[in-house]
Structure 1
């Protein structure tokens, strides 16, 4: 410090003429240390050739760069010196593209959120309905009933035997009490009527005693034949003979084709002799043949159609009053099987349900010419609780399962007595997905369509006699 002051004083003495213009300044440098600055005007030069210094130039450069960056971010057109003219445009384009992507993703997420919220509301409504149904069932417990079924005495091949049907426990629900249940106990003496063999004419009518093992006639060629119908007209009309068999594949949204075969052998080989194109789309597997006409349900409606095979035209159409359709009251396997048509010794039948019946099976006998309902019966078994049904001699039989290989025919309703009862007749679903079962009056057998396979079952009927 002393040396610095001495130096400054010497400078003042040497430059006496400028003594009154010298100045001393003190301040901190960049590192924070105290620094003294002594300023003396030049006695020769009136001004310096350059103004400012390195620090000022650096500060100006930084300010220019900052101004350019601010201008680019705000969408201006300023450009940094030495930078290519397209760089700013690329930066702006990238920013805009990123913004557009972010907005698009936001919109997609919002749409997905709204869809999930709608599904959640639907599931909540279904859960609430199931909860109410559970509460209703809990409030109506099954009465403690243990009905005892007396033994049935029979004689088969001259060998006397005695056996008892299994006990059946049924829950009585007041909502399903349509008259006397008629299946609390079974009291019948049954004598055997042998099943028909070959072309023997057997016109006997009685209760179903047993169903034989299935016989396979053909497997479908493609996925369209997973479900289907095969039929034979019990009263065939020219130009088609009594041995003519018909097949309809029912997979797909355009079910129109009907294939005809001269006999069972041609059906097994897959060689149709006739192909008809139905004028109206067919729904599900509930069609049947009778007196030269195909009877079926028109797609997505409760309308029944009578299609004349000879003229290849619609002979009659009529709505089945109040019948459910399009999955409202199907069998348990689904397939829009709301209306099931069949033919037996007593004529043309429709099996379905209505809102009034609350899902219970309704049986109606139809006029085969006009399709008018002649008479109806309400049963006390839910339609969606059984896999399928068929009618023999005016008696409705229901199948317990469509998928179990070993199942039973579990219920019978007699339209003559308006009474129903539980039964337990063994039945085999050989291929594990039975989507169609119907009684063939022409052959007095059961026809079925089991998971791509066309099969038939021999049956045994018995005559019911008074006690």
Structure 2
């Protein structure tokens, strides 16, 4: 009986211990679950807060984007309005210029030129003609001017190819048109008004040259046409053609070995002849690897090279160049065709300092200049821009170091 009692007591004690153990385990698990639920509720609250903040941020961002969009629209409208106003002003300026003379100024020499005083058909005596010419020559021989700005722009007409050249001889009123980038024909008009009023090139005198001119670097100076002759397998030549007799007066070999373009944006022009108050100039590049434009002073009578300079003006992105009073102005642009601008100036007499060099911008028109020719008598530039013939009237000032 006693062993049975001991067994019962032992069994009861074991059962009671197991009950306490499992109860403790259940309490522990229940506490852990409650802690996990609390943590999940905390995470849920945090997630809700983050979601709310994200929604607020998206709302603020959307409002800011709407504001930027409205601002962009208003700015675009303002720019469009400004463009329309600029176009209107340019049209009004063109209209005003059509009511006035194409001259930049009128003086005694201008009147002599306009009346054809230097023409061969005139009835005046040779002595009086020579006297007037000596007076004109003395007036421009001491050239001490630099360009200070572009006074006005006149779009004369549109005729011919996108690329070409037109110019006027400072010693006469005749205008010469070179259509395209090469050819053996030149169109001569009696005056700028005649060219402006003519339909196309009809009504002109057609001059047929003995050889093709190449590029857009020709020049007309004192009754002679100077042009570049470039043939395959032959050296480049400068040709002097007498417009009166219709014959070649002289030729000279080009002072380089290669046919490198002088302007990167006009590869057809291997050399550019320019005439100004001081005579005849030649702009060229010695080779394809030469980064800068070179300048040579030529004797217009013999075509001899008198002196050579490195202008230090790069050929890269160069569009055209012209010479005024012995100062080279190189016009630059980009291949995407933006506004043309003078970025490099070189004076052969070192009389133009960097602070004096003008920052010239040409009004944006149609494309890029194929040529710009300076007329020292009128102080005007004759430009060819995508087939449009344009006159730029210049304002001048004295060089500071004179």
Q: 2:328: which partner in 1?
A: 396
In structure 2, list runs of 5 or more residues that go unmatched.
Answer: 1-102, 110-138
**Structure number, greater radius of gyration:** 1
Q: Which has the bigger relative contact order, CA under 8 A and spacing at least 6?
A: 2
Provide the aligned length of Structure 1 versus Structure 2.
260
Q: 1:231: which partner in 2?
A: 167
1:443 aligns with 2:375: no
2:348 to 409, 415, 427: 415
Q: 2:156: which partner in 1?
A: 217
1:348 to 280, 283, 289: 280
Q: 1:137: which partner in 2?
A: none
User: What is the root-mean-square deviation in Å for CA atoms of aligned residues?
Assistant: 2.5
Q: 1:458: which partner in 2?
A: 393
1:305 aligns with 2:239: yes
In structure 1, list runs of 5 or more residues that go unmatched.
Answer: 1-194, 236-241
2:207 to 276, 282, 285: 276
Tell me if the contact between 1:234 and 1:442 (Cα under 8 Å) persists in the aligned partners.
yes
Match of 1:278, SS state, is: strand
Structure-2 separation of matches of 1:426 and 1:302: 33
Q: 1:197: which partner in 2?
A: 105
Structure-2 separation of matches of 1:435 and 1:262: 23
Query: Normalised by the size of structure 2, how large is the TM-score?
Result: 0.60
Q: 1:139: which partner in 2?
A: none
Tell me if the contact between 2:217 and 2:271 (Cα under 8 Å) persists in the aligned partners.
yes
User: Cα 1:419–1:309, aligned 2, differ >3 Å: closer, same or farther?
Assistant: same
Structure-1 separation of matches of 2:326 and 2:289: 20
Structure-2 separation of matches of 1:420 and 1:338: 29
1:263 to 191, 194, 204: 191
Tell me if the contact between 1:259 and 1:272 (Cα under 8 Å) persists in the aligned partners.
no
Structure-1 separation of matches of 2:107 and 2:389: 21
Tell me if the contact between 2:319 and 2:368 (Cα under 8 Å) persists in the aligned partners.
no
- Structural mapping, 1:29-428, within 5 Å: 196-199=104-107, 201=109, 203=140, 205-220=144-159, 222=160, 225-235=161-171, 242-251=172-181, 255-270=183-198, 271-300=202-231, 301-322=235-256, 324-325=258-259, 328-355=260-287, 358-401=290-333, 404-417=337-350, 421=354, 423-428=358-363
Structure-1 separation of matches of 2:380 and 2:249: 28
**How much has 1:214 moved relative to structure 2?**
2.3
